[in-house]
Every structure is written in structure tokens, then in C-alpha cells.
Amino acid sequence: MARIEGVLLPSEKRVEYGLTYLFGIGLTRSREILSHTGVSPDIRIKNLSHEQVAAIQKCINQTFKVEGELRKEITLNIKRLQEIGCYRGTRHKRSLPVRGQRTKTNARTRKGPRKAGSTVANKKTVSKK
């Protein structure tokens, strides 16, 4: 098992897909890292040598923000938007969609489950006799 940036990569996967387990690295960046370091994307993670793991680690540290550093930057950006009181910041505060999506219907992922008591008032129910 290779450990990069504090994340254990799955040993049975190919390297190009295994690197995507790092927050901030997708498939395109993974392939870019492997081509830069000269590591074949077909190798399984368990077959990587220590030198190859070190080369990948070095490349990631020099060129990209990943894991904790990236998460910290994202949270600071959101906090800054909230402090200056811009529209996007207020949407983040209220846990509503930020990028212009509709909220009358849908948006349940962002808003969470429906609140109790938000049903239509005075709705007649049919009772059986």
C-alpha cells in the first residue's frame, strides 16, 4: 500500500485511478503527474517501487494543492464571501444553491429533507363514511 499525502491508496488499482483517491486530483491531473514523473499508468499501486512513489509525491507537492491544504483554502474562500456579505456568501450561509439553480422545487440535496409543518395550509382531506 502506497501512502501519499497521508492517504492510503488502494493497492489493487492501477496508478492512474488510485491517485484520484487524493482530494484535488482527478483523472486528468493523475495522468499529467504520471507523464511528468515517467511512471506507466498501467502499473498497479502494489507494484510501485519506493523511488516511483517518492517521485509522484514530490511532483504532487511541488505543483498542486491537495488534501488538507486545498480544503482549508476552499473553506477560507467561502468564509471570505460570507464576511463581505456578497450574494454568494449569503447563499452559503442559508444553505441554499449558490449558482443560480431553482429552489421552488428540487434543491433538496442542498436544503436537506423537507421540514415538518411546511405543508399547504387548510388542505381538505377526504374522509370515508
Task: Please report the domains of the chain, with CATH numbers, ordered by start residue.
Answer: 3-64 (1.10.8.50), 70-111 (4.10.910.10)
What pLDDT was estimated at residue 87?
96
By residue count, the chain amounts to: 129
pLDDT in tens, the chain (129 residues): 788 989 999 999 999 999 999 999 999 999 999 999 999 999 999 999 999 999 999 999 999 999 999 999 999 999 999 999 999 999 999 999 999 999 988 999 998 898 877 666 666 777 776
